[in-house]
Structure 1
Amino acid sequence: MSDFVGFAADVGTKLIAAGCQGGGSSNSKPGIVRRAVDFPSLMISLGFQPAFTFFLSKVERFSAVSAIYSYLTGKAKLDDGVKAAICDELRRSEGAGYAGYVAIILYALSRVGESVSVGGNEEEIYKSLLGIALKELALAKERLLSEYLLEVKKVLEAMPL
């Protein structure tokens, strides 16, 4: 199994483990799935930095980014707070999914060798994310990141929610 597929399967398995139901209109996909579909093509057309800052502009709770990222990386357990954050990101409403998908991007960045650290209060997390947005990724790392995120897209589109 390729590392990309293993990574995507890990993300999908961890999101499903939260036991959330999508909520909202059954005609639309959960928010985080829509973000997984949108981000790779946005990144390919605009570059990592503009795509990432656009997604940051849509995040409603930066603490959710930190909680989900910590869970994905194994630094936090699936407790009630993490479950609530994941379930909020799986809602089928318009603004849902950005914080959760930013956490997935951070997790993928760590896999391509980028240093990622998010924690603290909302302001500290925001500043950390802006620091990540300012990083210029080498073309090789951006391509690798794209491969990880394209696999995540496939796995999340197939999630039974």
Structure 2
Amino acid sequence: MIKPDDLDRFKTVLANMKKATLQSQRNAEQTSHKLSKVKEQLADVKAAHQTLKKDHQQLQDSQQKSQKIDYAMRDMVKNDYGVSSIKQSDVEARVVLYQLDHNELTKNKTEATSWLKALTTALNDQETKIDYKRLDWGINQVKALINRLVELAHDLFKGMTR
């Protein structure tokens, strides 16, 4: 025979167990939902990783190709033209001249100013191997570019104040 106090305690224990079971089920559902999200994120990360690996391989291939071209150019300059070294100021000026020759113009005034400085430095260097006429041409091109950038910025700010 069960006493009323025992029956009440049993009902309380049973109710608490039912609550605990429901809470466990909710926790399991939440955990399962979180696990699904983590699995989705993991799949995204794996896909991104594969893309990055592919991009990395392409960059390595490109770098190797560029390095081979660099070696060939160095060999040609040294063995065919007798130039064994080049001053850094000439390198910087030649890069700017190359960009100007190929219409690879900057849209940044700070960079354009550094281009002007590189060309002017080479022009003022008595030992430069760059033709002075080419340096003058480059300087004029960069000055014109800077003027256009200043005008564009001025026009842009004028338009913003209207």
User: What's the TM-score bracket when you normalise by the shorter of the two chains?
Assistant: under 0.3
TM-score (normalised: structure 1): 0.22
TM-score (normalised: structure 2): 0.22
Larger radius of gyration: 2
**RCO higher in 1 or 2 (8 Å CA, sep ≥ 6)?**
1
Structure showing the higher helix proportion among its residues: 2
